[in-house]
Chain A
Amino acid sequence: MAKTHVKMHVNGSEVEGLVEPRTLLIHFIREQLNLTGAHIGCDTSHCGACTLDIDGKSVKSCTMFAVQAEGAKITTIEGMANADGTLHALQEGFKQMHGLQCGFCTPGMILRAHRLLQENPKPTEEEIRFGIAGNLCRCTGYQNIVKSIQYAAAKINGVPFQEAAE
């Protein structure tokens, strides 16, 4: 099968490559662009470890072909840090609140939480849990992931973070 030329914007840079039409976006991102932050967990669109931000939407990149993303603007975990190299509020939140143990789900969690906070800057705990329902974590039991996102929301909104009483 002839390869197709694709061009897209990833983390602010224009990138291009040759792909088979059947190449999944996650494979293009990881294997051709060498951006290996996004992970392939289940490969069946359940776990969310491959979540990327594509044209302002959270997308599971194992369930999209690279050719479908022609012309798209994509953010991966490699593009999340602030321009000065400091951690994004979400990355800082996950570090401060111990929002990860093995870390495999973390890039997908952060990308999904990033879009969630764009859509809903002050989510309740319930809204956070519903908003990350497409991302599985097998270590934390989600408690600290929820806190990490609350931490980031507070920081982005410029208000002090108050941990809920347990």
Chain B
Amino acid sequence: MIPGQFAYHRPRTLAEATTLLSEFKSDARVIAGGQSLIPMMKLRLAQPGHLVDLQTVPELKLVLVDGDVHGAVRRDTLSIGAMVTQAEVIKNADWAKSLPILREAALQIADPQVRSLGTIGGNAANGDPGNDMPAVLMCLDASYHLLGPAGGRMVKAREFYFGAYATALADGEILTAVKIPTPPAGHGWAYEKLKRKIGDYATAAAAVIMTVKGGKVESCSIALTNLSDRPLLASAAAAAVLGTSLDKAALASAVAAARGIMYPANDTRGTLEYRVAVGGTMVERALKSAFARAKG
């Protein structure tokens, strides 16, 4: 399978990259790790005339931590450059402690070779409902920094996805970094993904971030992968467990609320009914696991 013809560009700075995108507009695509885009190009589902390779743009590898004090509590916001690979996410010992859901999710993406090139920014920006990071980043209430010819803007992950491959990213814009408010120490987390085999997209998956105080759920967010044409934030499901000790009734009501917003495709991964059924199971497992891992 040979992709269509294109011209290849390798900018050395972010400014050069955005200039190229402004020049070629919708005929240009950026390529990060290429692990989704190249397969799409081979199938001729994507046929950009210009490919702007971001691998030599050092700004996109940057990792920064911004401190932010809320009352007596210091909360850090972690900014991860878009070109940080899934393999680098997995290897990062600090994030394994402060943001373990990132590693747990990254380990379930594709396979070692794909993770060695595939990037967090590419996974976030691609817009395929099967990508895993969008739900995780929505669950964490992350924001994306988008840089275009007119400058930069921040868009919340929760407001970024409109449908399959339809996102808030405008022509000429590059997603340069994901900014994640780190959850409090002792929080619970889980990313539960059902897939047919390693390397497959999710049949259904659920991300949970939770804090527990005195044995009761103090805060909770839930997001879903591949259970609609876009990642979903399951707010009503999360609200259903607040203040509970995650007893049977609370779990059942959360699962029912989550199932209520699922609208997965009937495809080779299963029928709509099957995927809604197992989608609920993923929510239940992720809630139980996050609750068990939370301290408090």
A residues at B contact (CB < 8 Å): 1, 4, 20-22, 24, 43-46, 48, 51, 57-60, 63-65, 67-68, 70, 112, 116, 130-134
Q: Which residues of A contact B31 (CB under 8 A)?
A: 68
Q: Return chain A residues, CB-CB under 8 Å to B6.
A: 1, 21-22
Q: How many residues of B contact A (CB 8 A)?
A: 29
Q: Closest CB of chain A to B271's CB: distance in Å? A: 24
Q: Is the CB of A48 within 8 A of B8?
A: no
In the bound complex, CA of A58 to CA of B87 (Å): 11
**Given known A-B contacts A51-B113, A134-B114, A45 and B35 have beta carbons under 8 A apart:** yes
- Complex Cα spacing A4 to B10, Å: 12
Q: Across the interface, do B10 and A70 meet the contact criterion of CB distance under 8 Å?
A: yes
A112, B112: Cβ atoms closer than 8 Å: yes
Cβ-closest chain A residue relative to B6: A21
Contact with A along B8-21 (1 / 0, CB 8 A): 10100000000000
Contacts of B5 in A (CB 8 A): 1, 20-22
Binary flags per residue of B95-110, CB closer than 8 Å to A gives 1, else 0 = 0000000000000001
Which residues of B sit under 8 angstroms from A22, Cβ to Cβ? 2-6, 41
Nearest residue, chain A, Cβ from B115: A134
- A11–B258 Cα distance when bound, in Å, is 53
Chain B contact residues, CB within 8 Å of chain A: 1-8, 10, 31, 34-35, 38-39, 41-42, 51, 53, 55, 87, 110-114, 116-117, 198-199
Residues of B within 8 A of A59 (CB): 113, 116-117
In order of increasing CB-CB distance, the 9 nearest A-B pairs are A134-B111, A21-B8, A57-B116, A133-B198, A1-B5, A134-B113, A60-B113, A22-B3, A58-B113
A134 and B8 within 8 A (CB): no
Measured between alpha carbons, how far is A134 from B35 in the docked complex, in Å?
13
How many A-B pairs with Cβ below 8 Å?
Answer: 80
Interface centre among A45, A58, A131, A132 (most CB of B within 10 A): A45
Q: Within the complex, which residue of A67, A131, A134 is in contact with B110, where a contact is CB–CB below 8 Å? A: A134
List the A side residues contacting B111 at CB < 8 Å.
Answer: 48, 133-134
Bound-state CA distance A46–B199 (Å) is 7
Are A133 and B112 neighbours in the complex by a CB distance under 8 Å? yes
Report yes or no: B51 in contact with A43, Cβ–Cβ below 8 A. no
Which residues of the other chain, A, contact B198 by a CB distance below 8 angstroms?
Answer: 130, 133-134
Subset of 27 A-B contacts with CB under 8 Å: A1-B7, A21-B6, A21-B7, A43-B1, A44-B39, A57-B116, A58-B116, A59-B113, A59-B117, A63-B38, A63-B39, A63-B114, A65-B8, A65-B51, A67-B10, A67-B53, A68-B31, A68-B53, A70-B10, A112-B113, A130-B198, A132-B112, A133-B111, A134-B110, A134-B111, A134-B112, A134-B114
A116 to B135, CA, bound (A): 29
Q: Which of B2, B38, B55, B199 contacts A134 (CB 8 A)?
A: B199
| Contact between chains at A57 and B38 (CB < 8 Å) | no
Q: Which residues of A contact B1 (CB under 8 A)?
A: 43-44
The CA-CA distance from A36 to B47 in the complex, in Å, is 29
B33: min CB distance to chain A, Å: 9
In the bound complex, how far is the Cα of B8 from the Cα of A68, in angstroms?
9
Give the nearest-CB partner of B37 in chain A.
Answer: A63
Min CB distance A71 to B, Å, is: 9
CB B51 to nearest CB in A, in angstroms, measures 7
Contacts A21-B51, A22-B2 given; indicate if A64 touches B113 (C-beta within 8 A): no
Q: Determine the chain B residues whose CB is within 8 A of the CB of A64 once the complex forms.
A: 34, 38, 117
